[in-house]
Amino acid sequence: MTDIVEMKGMNKYFGNLHVLKDIDLTVAKGEVVVIIGASGSGKSTLIRCVNGLEEFESGHLKVDGHPLAPKSGNPRSLAEIRKEVGMVFQQFNLFPHLTVRKNIMLAPKKVKSTSDTVANATAERLLNRVGIGNQADKYPSQLSGGQQQRVAIARALAMEPRLMLFDEPTSALDPEMIGEVLDVMRELAKEGMTMMVVTHEMGFAREVADRVIYIHEGQIVEQGKPDDVFDNPQNERTQAFLSRVL
């Protein structure tokens, strides 16, 4: 099997704070990995390292075969990785002054020199796919949170990513909108997208994840198939965490 993400012995500090401790993690092509853990345990930092939004101090990282070195990085790899890895944040991060359509067209035009016609057709196709084909000419502020997050997913997909990273994509949403975003993610997973998802939606994790990873204070302390991790956690930290959230 091809590994899209290969992380070996990764350590990351913010000043004196040791945030990621000797992380070994591979993600296979088509695999859906859900990362769970308490607030502050390093989940965001871990997935932000994967697309080079954070540097790390030691260890090895390869994303779709492109090596990223500690600290100095590797500008050429970084540019390739940014093209191939889509990211969806808790706070949507749409461009407020651009319509939904233009939000989605921007990166393909800028980064891949896609023509206006093709970028527009892609935007319309993806908006239909996430169920908001009729919202293309609105501005983000005119949409609900759930709709904005679906635009953010469509925008990431427009770059034809090989890997999608989701950092608590439903945490900022009103409860009634969480389902519509999880539905889109579930579809993506079914279609074979490789995904790393940080979420507190344990039902989603159980249903969609191939593997669940529990992080405690910057370390992977347990991982496995969702049913095993949720029903029969081996580590006492995992047990304590799950007893709080389930």
Give the interface with ligand ADP as residue ranges (CB under 6 A).
14, 17, 19, 37, 39-45
- Shortest distance, CB of residue 38 to ligand ADP, whole angstroms? 7
14 binds, among ligand ADP, Mg ion, none (CB under 5 to 8 A by kind): ligand ADP
CA distance 126 to 138: 15
Q: How far is the CB of 224 from ligand ADP (least distance, A)?
A: 19
- Least distance to ligand ADP, CB of residue 197, Å: 12
Please, what sign has the CA dihedral across residues 209, 185, 241, 31? positive
Q: Which does 203 bind (CB under 5 to 8 A by kind): ligand ADP, Mg ion, none?
A: none
Q: Which is nearer to Mg ion, 54 or 80 (CB)?
A: 54
Q: Which is nearer to ligand ADP, 44 or 99 (CB)?
A: 44
The CA distances from residue 168 to 34, 43, 230, in Å, are 10, 10, 19
Does position 103 bind Mg ion by CB under 5 A?
Answer: no
Q: Is 199 in the site for Mg ion (CB under 5 A)?
A: no
Q: Of these, 23, 27, 31, 44, which contacts Mg ion (CB under 5 A)?
A: 44
Q: Of 44 and 199, which CB lies nearer to ligand ADP in the complex structure?
A: 44
Among residues 6 and 217, whose Cβ is nearest to ligand ADP?
217
Residue 99, binding choice from Mg ion, ligand ADP, none, Cβ under 5 to 8 Å by partner class: none
Least distance (Å) between residue 165 CB and Mg ion: 12
Residue closest to Mg ion when measured from CB atoms:
44
Residues found near Mg ion in the complex (CB under 5 A): 44
